[in-house]
């Protein structure tokens, strides 16, 4: 028979165990200090769970915030490029910025496809863009034309490029330094190295449109009116069969200046359209400009893999007679 002391000892151990268990349950229910910073998504029954998505951009280095840029302007390895209209550049621009004629982003002969390598290389060399140059691009504010130049630079092998978030509109609204002085530039050697994996031909798009693949998504980034054929900007209106529509402007905040929306909102935008994160996404618009903007957005949030631009876009597809169209 157990002594009185032994019984008391057993009761003490049991009570201590119950207290420790209760504390463990309480901690599990409350979580740590970071519990609200990393919320978990609700997964429907029967669906596998996935690793938590990062809350921020996958590639924040693609954006140049105005505060950051203001502190970088004296760098000799930095080239700021203004792709607004020449009149706007002459009226005032970011100190040290050079002007680039955005009409040169398309082939001057067919107006459909990317500018030829030798022409682009010559222009970049004139602007002092060499292999070690970090290029920072800005436009009026939406990033539309800046994204087109970003894509062309990437296509020709130069990926050390940022876009000013909010562009000139944000820079000016914040009262930052501006000048009318055109900087003297030391020419450089720009060696183009085209990457065919970044562009999609019309024949490839035909194949995806007529023989859909679960891994490939055709993404029409034009307005809904263009997508359904109400706004016709070619011989025919409508969209490429099987293409889904996400207007490029939905990636930006409302009001002025416009900046890219938070990463979580951007991911939700594409998820809502039924686009999976591991898909290969082929974007198109009318002339490959808006489509480049969406490619930038997808890259920014790390959405899709092996994404490509159908450069001919609707200006090519909608004016051909051998291409299927849906409305």
Nearest to 157 by CA among 124, 127, 126, 185: 124
The string of DSSP codes covering 183-218 is PP-----------GGGEE-HHHHHHHHHS--TTEEE
Query: pLDDT tens digits for 230-289?
Result: 999 999 999 999 999 999 999 999 999 999 999 999 999 999 999 999 999 999 999 999
Q: Angle at CA 160, nearest 5°, toward 159 and 163?
A: 95
Chain centre to alpha carbon of residue 56: 13
Per-residue CA distances from 124 to 32, 54, 133, 188 (Å): 52, 35, 11, 8
pLDDT digits (tens, 9 = 90+) for 101-112: 999 999 999 999
Rounded CA-CA distance 297/306 in Å is: 14
Q: What mean pLDDT comes out for the span 142-153? A: 99
CATH of segment(s) 197-317: 3.40.250.10
State the first-to-last Cα distance of the chain, in angstroms, to the nearest integer: 90
Both structure tokens of 185: 């530039």
Q: CA-CA distance, 172 to 192, in Å (whole number)?
A: 34
Identify the band that residue 51 occupies on the pLDDT scale cut at 50, 70 and 90: very low
In contact, 62 and 162? CB cutoff 8 Å: yes
- Which of 69, 56, 62, 60 shows the shortest CA–CA distance to 174? 69
Q: What is the mean pLDDT of the chain?
A: 87
Judging by DSSP bridges, how do beta strands 161-164 and 199-200 pair with one another? unpaired
Q: Supply angle C-alpha 129, 133, 135, rounded to 5.
A: 80
Q: Which residues pair with 78 in a beta bridge?
A: 134
What is residue 271's DSSP assignment? H
Give the Cα separation of 132 and 142 in Å (integer).
27
Residue 165 token pair: 């978030």
Widest CA span of the chain, in angstroms? 104
What is the structure's pLDDT at 212?
87
pLDDT at 86: 99
What average pLDDT does the segment 119-134 reach? 98
- Out of 285, 289, 291, 300, pick the active-site residue: 285
So what's the pLDDT on residue 55?
A: 65
Among 130-134, 209-213, 245-249, 287-291, name the one with the lowest average pLDDT.
209-213
The confidence band for 36, taking pLDDT boundaries of 50, 70 and 90, is very low
Domain range 60-194, CATH class:
alpha beta
| Low-confidence winner among 16-20, 208-212, 272-276 (lowest mean pLDDT) | 16-20
What helix, strand, coil percent values describe the chain, rounded to 5?
A: 35, 15, 50
Give residue limits of the domains in the chain. Answer: 60-194, 197-317
Q: Does 285 qualify as catalytic in the annotation?
A: yes
Q: How far apart are CA 15 and CA 13, in angstroms?
A: 5
Confidence band of 99 (pLDDT split at 50, 70, 90): very high
One fold for 60-194 and 197-317: yes
């Amino acid at each position: 028979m157990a002594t009185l002391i032994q019984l008391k000892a057993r009761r003490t151990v049991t009570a201590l165990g119950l207290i420790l268990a209760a504390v463990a349950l309480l901690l599990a229910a409350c979580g740590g200090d970071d519990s609200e910073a990393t919320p978990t998504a609700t997964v429907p029954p029967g669906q596998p769970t996935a690793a938590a998505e990062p809350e921020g951009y996958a590639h924040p280095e693609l954006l140049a915030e105005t505060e950051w840029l203001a502190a970088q302007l004296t760098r000799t390895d930095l080239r700021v490029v203004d792709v607004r209209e020449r009149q706007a550049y002459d009226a005032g621009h970011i100190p040290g910025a050079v002007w680039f004629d955005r009409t040169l982003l398309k082939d001057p002969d067919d107006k459909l496809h990317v500018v030829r390598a030798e022409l682009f290389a010559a222009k970049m060399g004139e602007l002092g863009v060499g292999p070690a140059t970090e290029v920072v691009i800005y436009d009026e504010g939406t990033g539309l034309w800046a994204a087109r130049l970003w894509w062309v630079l990437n296509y020709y092998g130069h990926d050390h490029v940022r876009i000013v978030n909010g562009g000139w509109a944000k820079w000016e609204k914040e009262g930052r330094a501006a000048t009318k002085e055109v900087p003297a530039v030391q020419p450089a050697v720009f060696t183009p190295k085209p990457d065919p994996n970044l562009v999609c031909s019309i024949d490839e798009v035909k194949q995806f449109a007529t023989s859909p693949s679960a891994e490939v998504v055709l993404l029409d980034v034009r307005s809904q009116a263009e997508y359904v054929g109400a706004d016709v900007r070619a011989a025919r209106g409508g969209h490429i069969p099987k293409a889904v529509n996400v207007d490029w402007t939905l990636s930006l905040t409302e009001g002025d200046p416009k900046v890219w929306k938070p990463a979580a909102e951007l991911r939700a935008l594409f998820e809502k359209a039924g686009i999976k994160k591991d898909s290969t996404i082929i974007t198109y618009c009318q002339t490959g400009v808006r489509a480049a903007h969406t490619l930038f957005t997808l890259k920014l949030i790390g959405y899709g893999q092996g994404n490509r631009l159908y450069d001919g876009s609707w200006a090519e597809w909608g004016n051909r007679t051998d291409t299927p169209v849906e409305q």
